[in-house]
Structure 1
Amino acid sequence: MRILSTIFCIDASNYKDAIDSILDSYNHVLKERDGTSVRMYSDLPEYNRLKDELLTVGVEVKELRRVEFSKKEFESALLLALYPAYQDLNPYSEEPDKYFSVSCNECNAYINQTNDLMIRKSSVGNRDFLMSWESELLISSKIKRLFDAHSVTGISYRPVYTKKDIQEIAYQLVPLNELPPLQTKLIPAIDCSNCGFKSYGKSMDSVLSYRIGAWDNYKDLNYTSEYFGEGYFPRRKIIISQLVRQILISAKVRGIRYEPIFI
């Protein structure tokens, strides 16, 4: 596991020659360079030196950091968070009340599902995984058959329909097993004083982790006890077993990414 930092030079046009000269001397340790923005690993000794040199000549820098996992960490993780690469950004307007009820009228968090989802057929296409506008994980009938064939545990489904002709075109993945609280230090996102609903965020350079023994009763499909995100649709993270990851890899399923869970 390494932290990959993207360093942005602010007001670069005023210091272009100085920035170019400094960055040129670090080309050998940069993972990527795009004009006056660079990517490099934060564990390199040159990482702090580069930032210090830029600050010394008056260049303001900002950073975006994320975790980059090794192949070994992906392969050895018992559990992993699952994220679809594509989210439908074309909702049916002003209809969240059709599918969900709010936790309360203060936080307006639509977390209690009351009806099966509908989605445009064009949004589904040939995708095996996608996230709905409401941040629910949807899968194709191909993936459902795959999970059923391998007797994946801790899983249930809800049908997803089109609106035009009420045709079943996908399935909403609904894990049944709730994991204990995470050990990861989280950032409060929603803390409703009226109903008590809470949701969280986490920094991009932190990892999801549990205490040793906390997940002894995990299933192939699980969800976090914590909700994540702001706005109308905070959601729990879906956590899968290594078995599910291997099933998807063997079937050459694309359009998803994984995040190893640590203890």
Structure 2
Amino acid sequence: MKKVAYFTVYWGDEYGKPPKTPEGKARDEALAKALLQRLEQMRKVKIVEVSTKRPFYDLKIEVGSEAFNFLMETLQQSPHLVSPFTVLKDYTCQELESAELLIWGPTNQAIEDDYYDFYAEGEQHRDLHQRCPACGARLKQIRDLIVNKARMRGKDVSLTYSNEVILSERVAQLLYEAGLTGFELRPVHHYKKPYKGEPTLYQLVVTNVLPPMASPPTEFEHFHHCDVCGRTSRFLKHTHQWGKIQYYEDTDVYYPRSVLEAAKDFNHTAEYFGELRVSHPYVIITQRVYRLLREHKVKNWAAVPVYLVD
């Protein structure tokens, strides 16, 4: 696995603080540009953007490289030059193909959302879910999805704003013919009259719920709880500190190895993530699903490994 950090180095006035003096701004600009000159000579650095009109530049640097260590050490003395940066993980094929479980999901939201739940107003509005009267959490889906099917535009899978997964007819047939477990399919309807070439779409409804994650080592933050419906939501720990510099990186997900006894091919987590009103579980798949989708060149999805501990 390779980790890549995305930085913005900025030497202008800081939001919410008094404007810098001309001397202070000149000092910060000189330091930022000196850093850039050094980084341009190092490996595993990509200069994403350098603005000639605004006081910043963007960097993409491999974590643990000489350039990353140099930048982090130097910025400890001037942490105001960098806003919280993001670290993303790039997994190898071997890591993905050896993981017994993986977090899975579509990578686009082409469908956007249910038409009568998201777009319609007044008497036309029709809730897709039964919601908690206090926190607004979605407790139960009470009808089939009604969407603008034309937005699918030949995609294999899509995700709505409400985190429902929509499948093309080809993918739905693949899952059934492979005998995969832990899911049901619901029909998806077009929001207007049928049209020529209208695709057949299905909603993937995951029915198997896994036991809770192993925590620790899985880390969470920003818990929310509703006393009325009993829903608790959280976020995977995302905020970290590297000396004086804050950065964002999702924690890995861990389960006890015994979870395999309860797992089916499609599963969702016992935990809900996000703000209460939009909280949802993660979808977790087995290698059977991962390899089937890869073998048949299904597009528009991504997966990351889940780690098992004894």
TM-score greater than 0.5 by the shorter chain? yes
User: Equivalent of 1:78, from 97, 100, 109?
Assistant: 100
Alpha-carbon separation, structure 1, partners of 2:39 and 2:280: 41
Does the Cα contact within 8 Å between 2:233 and 2:276 map onto a contact in 1? no
Alpha-carbon separation, structure 2, partners of 1:124 and 1:57: 47
**CA offset digits 1:223-262 (Å, max 9, x no partner):** 1111111253221111111111111111111111111111
Pair 1:118–1:224, CA change in 2 (3 A):
same
Aligned equivalent of 1:52: 73
Aligned equivalent of 1:194: 228
2:188 is paired with a residue whose SS is: strand
Read off the aligned partner of 1:99 and give its amino acid letter: L
Q: Where do 5+ consecutive residues of structure 1 fail to align?
A: none
Equivalent residues in 2 for 1:31-46 (5 A)?
Answer: 31-34=45-48, 35=50, 36-46=57-67
1:225 is paired with a residue whose SS is: coil
Aligned equivalent of 2:129: 100
Alpha-carbon separation, structure 2, partners of 1:66 and 1:37: 15
1:143 is paired with a residue whose SS is: helix
Matching of residue 161 in structure 1 with residue 171 in structure 2:
no
Q: CA RMSD in A?
A: 2.3
Tell me the number of residue pairs that the alignment of Structure 1 and Structure 2 aligns. Answer: 262
Matching of residue 147 in structure 1 with residue 175 in structure 2:
yes
Pair 1:61–1:121, CA change in 2 (3 A):
same
Aligned equivalent of 1:246: 291
Pair 1:65–1:58, CA change in 2 (3 A):
closer
Pair 1:207–1:93, CA change in 2 (3 A):
farther
Does the Cα contact within 8 Å between 1:161 and 1:168 map onto a contact in 2? no
User: Equivalent of 1:89, from 112, 117, 124?
Assistant: 112
Alpha-carbon separation, structure 2, partners of 1:111 and 1:131: 19
TM-score (norm. length: structure 1): 0.89
Read off the aligned partner of 2:70 and give its amino acid letter: R
Alpha-carbon separation, structure 1, partners of 2:45 and 2:289: 32
Offset of residue 181 of structure 1: 0.8
User: Equivalent of 2:142, from 110, 114, 117?
Assistant: 114
Alpha-carbon separation, structure 2, partners of 1:44 and 1:3: 10
Does the Cα contact within 8 Å between 1:67 and 1:207 map onto a contact in 2? no
Alpha-carbon separation, structure 1, partners of 2:46 and 2:233: 35
Q: Where do 5+ consecutive residues of structure 2 fail to align?
A: 14-24, 51-56, 239-248
Does the Cα contact within 8 Å between 1:154 and 1:222 map onto a contact in 2? yes
Read off the aligned partner of 2:202 and give its amino acid letter: Y
Equivalent residues in 2 for 1:170-249 (5 A)?
Answer: 170-183=201-214, 184-202=218-236, 203=238, 204-230=249-275, 232-249=277-294
Read off the aligned partner of 1:43 and give its amino acid letter: G
Read off the aligned partner of 2:119 and give its amino acid letter: Y
1:177 is paired with a residue whose SS is: coil
TM-score (norm. length: structure 2): 0.77
User: Equivalent of 2:38, from 21, 25, 33?
Assistant: 25
Does the Cα contact within 8 Å between 1:179 and 1:215 map onto a contact in 2? no
1:118 is paired with a residue whose SS is: strand
Does the Cα contact within 8 Å between 1:160 and 1:168 map onto a contact in 2? no
Alpha-carbon separation, structure 2, partners of 1:108 and 1:155: 26
**CA offset digits 1:8-49 (Å, max 9, x no partner):** 213359444432321232232334222222122332354243
Does the Cα contact within 8 Å between 1:18 and 1:57 map onto a contact in 2? no
Matching of residue 64 in structure 1 with residue 93 in structure 2:
no
Higher-Rg structure is 2
**CA offset digits 1:80-116 (Å, max 9, x no partner):** 11111111336433577521011x2221112311111
Aligned equivalent of 1:3: 3
